[in-house]
């Protein structure tokens, strides 16, 4: 698997895929995409990086344990739902603000936070499985 070409291109490929996954995540509300797909893309990016350069490199790059990323995502998703309780509406009612940043109207919302939570859960969960399975090849 670890051909020179693969090992050379894998970091760039991974970086591009992670960037693309964030793009997919953010555009998801109006165009095809969303947290789940974005998470899957990012997870496969990490899997590719792991196959090419070894699991240890991925773990170093991630800094956090993938399971911790997953758990923080779940936490974020729940927090996004709880926001609306403080706003006096039912649990998980979407809240929206449209601030102007550099002259462009940007839509920010609790569903977006929720979607980011979904993304993190999927990245962390799938990546931790994939990395754990890949681990043996390195030892």
Partner 1 sequence: MAEIEATTGGILALALPFVAAALAPILKRIIGAHAAWVLALAPAAAFAILFSFLPEVSSGGVVQFGFDWIPAFDVRFSFRIDGLASTFGLLITGIGTLIILYSGGYLKGHRDQGRFFSFMLMFMGSMLGLVLADDLMTLFVYWELTSITSFLLIGFDHEREKARRGAIQALAITGGGGLALLAGFILIRELAGLNSMTEVLAAGDALRTSPYYLPIFILVLCGAFTKSAQMPFHVWLPNAMEAPTPVSAYLHSATMVKAGVYLLLRMQPALGDTALWTTVLPAFGAVTLVMGALLAVRATDIKITLAYTTVSSLGLLVMLIGVSTEYALIGAVLYLIAHSLFKGGLFMVAGSVDHGAHTREIDRLGGLARHMPITFAAALLCALSMGGITPFVGFLAKEEIYHALEYGDAYHIALMAAAILGNALMFAAAFIVALKPFVGKLPETIDHPHEGGFTIWFGPLVLGVLGLLGALFYETYHALFSGPMASATYGQPVEIDISFVPHLNLAFALSLATIALGIVIYLASNGVRAATSRFLASVGWGPDHGFDQAMRGLLRFSYFVTNRLQSGRLDYYMTITVIAITAALFVPMILGGALPAEPQMPQLRLPEWLVLALILVGIVAVVVAKNRLTAIVSLGIQGFGTALIFMLLGAPDLSFTQFMVETLSVVILALVMTRLKLSPADHRPLREKLPDAALALAGGAGFAVFLLSIVQRPFDPALSDFFEEYSYAIAHGKNIVNVILVDFRGVDTMGEIAVVMTTGLAVLALIRIRVGRRAKAQPDPMETTP
Residue 66: which residues within 8 A CB-CB, separation 6 or more? 46, 123, 124, 125, 127, 128, 131
CA distance 20 to 25: 8
Binding segment toward partner 1, per CB under 8 A, in 3-11, 37-45, 52-60: 37-45
Per-residue binding string, partner 1, 1-30, x by CB under 8 A, is ---------------------------xxx
Per-residue binding string, partner 1, 48-87, x by CB under 8 A, is ------------------xx--xx-xx--xx--x------
Give the sign of the dihedral formed by CA 15, CA 18, CA 20, CA 23.
negative
Closer residue to partner 1 in complex, CB, 8/75: 75
CA distance 66 to 10: 20
In the set 18, 31, 52, 102, which binds partner 1 (CB under 8 A)? 31
Q: Rule CB under 8 A: is residue 95 a binding residue for partner 1?
A: no
Total length of the chain: 139
Measuring CA to CA, how many Å separate 43 from each of 29, 92, 129?
Answer: 21, 27, 10
Query: Where along the sequence are the contacts to partner 1 (CB under 8 A)?
Result: 28-37, 40-41, 43-44, 47, 66-67, 70-71, 73-74, 77-78, 81, 91-92, 94, 96, 107, 109, 111, 114-115, 117-118, 121-122, 124-126, 128-130, 132-134, 136-137
């Amino acid at each position: 698997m670890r051909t020179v070409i693969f090992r050379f291109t894998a970091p760039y490929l991974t970086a591009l895929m992670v960037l693309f996954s964030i793009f997919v995540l953010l555009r998801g509300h109006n165009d095809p995409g969303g947290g789940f797909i974005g998470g899957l893309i990012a997870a496969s990016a990490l899997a590719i990086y792991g196959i090419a350069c070894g699991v240890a490199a991925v773990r170093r790059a991630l800094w956090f344990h993938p399971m911790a990323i997953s758990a923080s995502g779940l936490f974020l998703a729940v927090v996004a739902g709880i926001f609306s309780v403080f706003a006096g509406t039912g649990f998980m009612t979407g809240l929206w603000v449209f601030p102007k940043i550099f002259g462009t109207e940007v839509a920010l919302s609790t569903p977006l936070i929720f979607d980011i939570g979904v993304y993190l859960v999927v990245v962390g969960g799938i990546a931790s499985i994939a990395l754990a399975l890949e681990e043996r090849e390195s030892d």
